[in-house]
Amino acid sequence: MITRRHALIGIAAATAAPLFVHRSWAGTKTLVRGSFTGTNGHETRGTAGILEVDGAHMVSLGEDFFFDGAPDPKVALGNDGYDPNTLMGPLQSNTGAQNYPVPDSIDVAQYNEVWIWCERFNVSLGVAKMNLA
């Protein structure tokens, strides 16, 4: 059954808009945002945010997002370090706006970072430290 929450997340993911810039969207609130820094010799830059969309949470990478590429990049959260239990799936694109629904089992209030992580080689590719929006 598709709920209103799931429909909004689907719409946001399909539009791939950096929602934290568009505060006027009904039911959308930016909780935190930050900027990426590359790690382990990778170039990762651009903005990221954690949004609340009608009670659900989403990680949003901004239009300015850029990643130089690597095998098996995934999006995850961390709290002063990567947490493998928060993997949200493969990076959709090496550039541009994209959105990742956060599973209900993850309490976003416990995390202060968005990670780009290479699961195959178990190394970080980039991290964005989050600050209050």
Secondary structure of the chain in HEC code, one letter for each residue: CCCHHHHHHHHHHHHCCCHHHCCCCCCEEEEEEEEEEECCCCCEECEEEEEEECCEEEEEECCCCEECCCCCEEEEEECCCECHHHCCEECCCCECCEEEECCCCCCHHHCCEEEEEECCCCEEEEEEEEEEC
Segments of the chain scoring below 70 in pLDDT: 1-26
Quick one: pLDDT at residue 25? 53
Sign of CA dihedral 63, 104, 89, 116: positive
Distance CA 109, CA 120 (A): 28
Are 78 and 64 in contact by the 8 Å Cβ rule? The answer is no
pLDDT single digits (tens) 67-103? 999 999 999 999 999 999 999 999 999 999 999 999 9
Angle at CA of residue 56, ends 6 and 36, nearest 5°: 110
Quick one: pLDDT at residue 133? 74
At residue 19, φ and ψ (nearest 5 deg) are -60, -25
Contacts of 61 (CB under 8 A, 6+ apart): 18, 46, 47, 48, 75, 96, 97, 98, 99, 114
Quick one: pLDDT at residue 26? 66
